[in-house]
């Protein structure tokens, strides 16, 4: 299922917002070609401003498609800002693409490029994927701008990911978060709820761990089910304990990982941390068809999180991340349909109760020790 569209519901007096305050539908995308077409259409209709962040903005067919669309709009008088990450730009053609954008009048900026005088700053990356067009539409999720997510270009081995487009009052906080990072200033405090939606960065001046704290609060309150999809599962001890505590309360906890991982060291670390969790009742599954890059969490069919953050130390405490949290049944159902589709193509992960032996044991030990740097 590539795209699911649903209008937000009307909320009662104790609810959060009436339907007329949310102007348009929410769209969940599970296929890159559908998402890219929608984003390019919105970019082409922009009349005022375009703000774009992408961890990977590759100099390939997809990247140049976006670069040309952004350049056309900049030449037409639209103010276009593009924020690229220094580490995510280590791909062939990205430097050329960056120079092309600047030459076309796009305001393009690097986040944390490598500097010999300050190498440690390079460790912190802008991992966010955000597009805001005019004061109309907000796109965010896990999709990068690269050919690996295109079925047309890659075929059956394209990456599996999830993105959301929301046309609502979230435009204002999305612009605020983009501009804060663009100007290099700390966001003062987490954005407030806008109806049933909230944008959650992982770091603000008021709370350095806002995303992690919100995540932990939701896990602690789970009553029936927790389903997590993440390509990189390397959480800290407190997070893992929260999953076990939920199982003890009778909550079904499922974690979906990729069987084909682009980071083998992370996969070894994930298996090392999953082994004791499986013994305590947490269910792990591996998505088999292709690389799973989606970052989605569903709790009790009424709470959903989707965005750029993985379930690991780097996303919670190091990188710049941005997630959407929703309390709408409508969006939860959309994401649940995508999750069920992925689970139907997965196999349960069964790891031996005994520690592995030989080379794999050494690799898992190293991966576990290095988990804060993965």
In the sheet with 346-348, reading across from the earlier edge strand, the strands are 197-201, 322-326, 303-307, 296-299, 225-229, 252-258, 283-287, 346-348
Q: Cα–Cα distances in Å, from 4 out to 38, 173, 334?
A: 13, 24, 6
Give the pLDDT confidence score for residue 123 in this predicted structure: 72
Domain membership of residue 229 (yes or no) is yes
- Domain count for the chain, please give it: 2
- Asked whether residue 156 is domain-assigned, the answer is yes
Query: Residue 125 and residue 223: Cα distance in Å, rounded?
Result: 35
Residue 363 exposure: Cα atoms within 13 Å on the Cβ side: 13
Residues 180, 243 within the same domain: no
Cα 190 to Cα 147: distance, rounded to the nearest angstrom: 33
Q: State the pTM of this model.
A: 0.89
Q: What is the pLDDT along the chain (374 residues), one digit of tens a residue?
A: 455 543 333 333 333 333 333 434 789 999 999 999 999 999 999 999 999 999 999 999 999 999 999 999 999 999 999 999 988 777 668 899 999 999 999 999 999 776 666 656 667 899 999 999 999 999 999 999 999 999 999 999 999 999 999 987 799 999 999 999 999 999 999 899 999 999 999 988 888 899 999 999 999 999 999 999 999 999 999 999 999 999 999 999 999 999 987 677 777 888 888 999 999 999 999 999 999 999 999 999 899 999 999 999 999 999 999 999 999 888 999 999 999 999 999 999 987 655 555 545 555 555 455 555 55
Domain end point (choices 165, 193, 221):
193
| 305: containing domain | 208-374
Same domain for 144 and 273: no
Identify whether residues 99 and 220 lie together within a single domain.
no
Cβ neighbors of 340 (< 8 A, separation 6 or more) are none
Do both 244 and 134 map to the same domain?
no
CATH of the domain at 120: 3.30.870.10
Helices (H) and strands (E) in the chain, counts: 11, 18
**Residue 345 resides in a domain:** yes
Residue 257 lies in a domain: yes
**Look-up of token digits 């670069």:** 67
**What are the strands, taking DSSP E only, across 190-251?**
197-201, 225-229, 233-234
Question: 230 and 180 in one domain?
Answer: no
Domain co-membership, 244 together with 172:
no
Asked if 135 and 158 sit in the same domain, the reply is yes
Q: Domain for residue 200, yes or no? A: no
Task: Report pLDDT for 199.
Answer: 96
Cα distances from 342 to residues 162, 255, 289, 348, in angstroms, run 11, 12, 9, 12
CA distance 298 to 226: 6
């Amino acid at each position: 299922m590539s795209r699911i569209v649903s209008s937000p519901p009307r909320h009662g007096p104790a609810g959060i917002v009436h339907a007329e305050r949310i102007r348009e539908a929410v769209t969940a995308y599970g296929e890159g070609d559908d998402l890219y077409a929608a984003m390019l259409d919105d970019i082409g209709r922009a009349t005022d401003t375009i703000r774009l962040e992408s961890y990977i903005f590759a100099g390939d067919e997809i990247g140049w498609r976006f670069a040309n669309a952004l350049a056309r709009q900049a030449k037409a008088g639209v103010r276009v800002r593009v924020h690229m990450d220094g580490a995510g730009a280590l791909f062939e053609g990205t430097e050329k693409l960056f120079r092309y954008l600047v030459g076309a009048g796009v305001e393009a900026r690097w986040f944390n490029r490598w500097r010999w005088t300050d190498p440690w700053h390079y460790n912190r990356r802008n991992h966010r994927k955000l597009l805001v067009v005019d004061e109309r539409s907000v796109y965010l999720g896990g999709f990068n701008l690269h050919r690996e997510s295109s079925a047309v270009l890659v075929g059956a081995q394209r990456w599996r990911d999830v993105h959301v487009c929301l046309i609502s009052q979230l435009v204002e906080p999305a612009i605020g978060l983009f501009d804060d990072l663009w100007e290099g200033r700390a966001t003062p405090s987490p954005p407030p709820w806008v109806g049933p939606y909230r944008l959650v960065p992982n770091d603000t001046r008021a709370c350095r761990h806002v995303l992690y704290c919100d995540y932990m609060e939701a896990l602690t309150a789970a009553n029936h089910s927790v389903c997590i999809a993440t390509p990189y599962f390397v959480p800290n001890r407190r997070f893992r304990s929260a999953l076990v505590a939920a199982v003890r309360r009778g909550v079904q906890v499922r974690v979906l990982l990729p069987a084909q991982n682009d980071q083998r060291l992370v996969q070894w670390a994930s298996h090392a941390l999953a082994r004791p969790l499986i013994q305590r009742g947490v269910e792990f599954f591996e998505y088999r068809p292709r690389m799973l890059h989606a970052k989605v969490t569903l709790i009790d069919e009424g709470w959903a999180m989707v965005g750029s953050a993985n379930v690991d130390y780097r996303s919670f405490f190091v990188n710049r991340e941005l997630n959407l949290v929703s309390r709408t049944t409508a969006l939860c159902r959309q994401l649940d349909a995508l999750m069920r589709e992925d689970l139907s193509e997965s196999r349960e992960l069964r790891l031996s109760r005994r520690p592995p032996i030989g080379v794999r044991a050494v690799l898992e030990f190293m991966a576990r020790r290095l988990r804060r740097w993965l």
